C-alpha cells in the first residue's frame, strides 16, 4: 500500500505541474510556414518527462525490495518483520 500511495503522490505532483504549465495561446516549437510568436519552453517538459522516468524506476526498485523481503519472511507486516529480525 505504501508503494502505491507513493506512486499516486508522484502522479499527483506531475499532474499539478502539467496543469500549471498549460497555457492558452502557446504553440509547440515546430518549424512551419505560419509565423507564430509565443512558443512553449521545452525545458519544463523535459524535466517532467525525467520525473516520470525516475518515478517509474524508483517504484520498480521498491517492488524488487518487497519481493526479496517476502521471500525471507512469510508476512509483509512491518511489526512482525522487526520482531523476527532482532539479533
DSSP tag of 39? B
- Domain limits, the chain: 2-84
SS3 of 21-33: the string is HCCCCCECCCCCC
- pLDDT above 90 (res 37): no
What does the mean pLDDT of the chain come to?
82
d(CA 71, CA 68): 5
- Asked whether the predicted pLDDT for residue 67 surpasses 70, the reply is yes
Angle formed by the axes of helices 42-72 and 2-21, nearest 10°? 180
pTM: 0.67
Amino acid at each position: 500500500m505504501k508503494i502505491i500511495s507513493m506512486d499516486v503522490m508522484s502522479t499527483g505532483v506531475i499532474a499539478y505541474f502539467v496543469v500549471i504549465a498549460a497555457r492558452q495561446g502557446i504553440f509547440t516549437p515546430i518549424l512551419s510556414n505560419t509565423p507564430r510568436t509565443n512558443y512553449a519552453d521545452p525545458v519544463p517538459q523535459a524535466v517532467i518527462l525525467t520525473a516520470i522516468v525516475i518515478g517509474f524506476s524508483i517504484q520498480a526498485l521498491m517492488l524488487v525490495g518487497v519481493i526479496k523481503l517476502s521471500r525471507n519472511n512469510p508476512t509483509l507486516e512491518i511489526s512482525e518483520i522487526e520482531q523476527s529480525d532482532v539479533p
